[in-house]
Amino acid sequence: MLILLRHGESIWNAADRFAGWTDIPLSEVGRKEAARSGALIAYAGLRPDVVHTSLLRRAISTAAIALDVAERHWIPVRRTWRLNERHYGALEGQHREDVRARFGDEQFTAWRRSYSVAPPPAERTAAGVPAGESLEDVLIRLLPYWETAVAADLSAGRTVLVVTHGNVLRALISHLEGIPPQDIRTITVPTGEPFGYELTEDLHPVGARRYLSTGRRTS
């Protein structure tokens, strides 16, 4: 069983700013969302055996809070930069509505929702940090981790919880469900809403993803 969770609301989500790789903490709302996520996981009778997170504190904190509420706080944790949010390049830290007003709706939407359009690059980044990424770039750096570390846990019969970021989950959903690039912009992932997949032995979804808050399946 695979359980996926976008982190709870961060203080930059609340302020409507691009965060990307900037290490932003959860808001108080986000902490409540994380606790609710843990309660939903427990109520669904799911017992994660291992959790995978990004290196960013909003995902790390969400996982810790959710697992504490679900009384699975002791399970092994694996962390990787490959689960980090999409790097928004020069847009990081900017207010979304300011970017929309400056560049127009079409360019704004392309940067946020398209598959292959990357934001303008950051002028300076630390060693090993991308200057900016498209969703395609995110999927390319995500897949090696999915196909090794996460796949190994799933193939061993473990219930796997992955706590990560909106664009990473959009990329993974598109991969698992075979959604073509032109339809990527229709995928949205709310904060603090765990959902899951039953998977075949070769890690293909059995049916649609299921949201734990409602039990609904979404194709």
> According to the model, what pLDDT value does residue 93 have?
95
> According to the model, what pLDDT value does residue 217 have?
53
Per-residue pLDDT reduced to its tens digit, 60-99: 999 999 999 999 999 999 999 999 999 999 999 999 999 9
pLDDT at 5 over 90: yes
Averaged pLDDT for residues 94-105: 97
Per-residue pLDDT reduced to its tens digit, 159-175: 999 999 999 999 999 99
Q: What is the mean pLDDT of the chain?
A: 95
Binding site: what residues are annotated? 6-13, 58, 85-88, 112-113, 166-167
Per-residue pLDDT reduced to its tens digit, 172-181: 999 999 999 9
pTM for this predicted structure: 0.95
Binding site for substrate: what residues are annotated? 6-13, 58, 85-88, 112-113, 166-167
> According to the model, what pLDDT value does residue 128 have?
81
> According to the model, what pLDDT value does residue 6 have?
98
In the chain, helix, strand, coil percent, each to 5?
45, 15, 40
Q: Which residue numbers are catalytic?
A: 7, 85
The residue ranking higher by pLDDT, 214 or 9, is 9
Taking the C-alpha atoms of residue 204 and residue 213, their distance in angstroms, rounded to an integer, is 23
Distances (CA, A) of 92 to 73, 109, 110, 131, 164: 32, 16, 16, 10, 18
Domains annotated for the chain, with CATH where assigned, are 2-218 (3.40.50.1240)
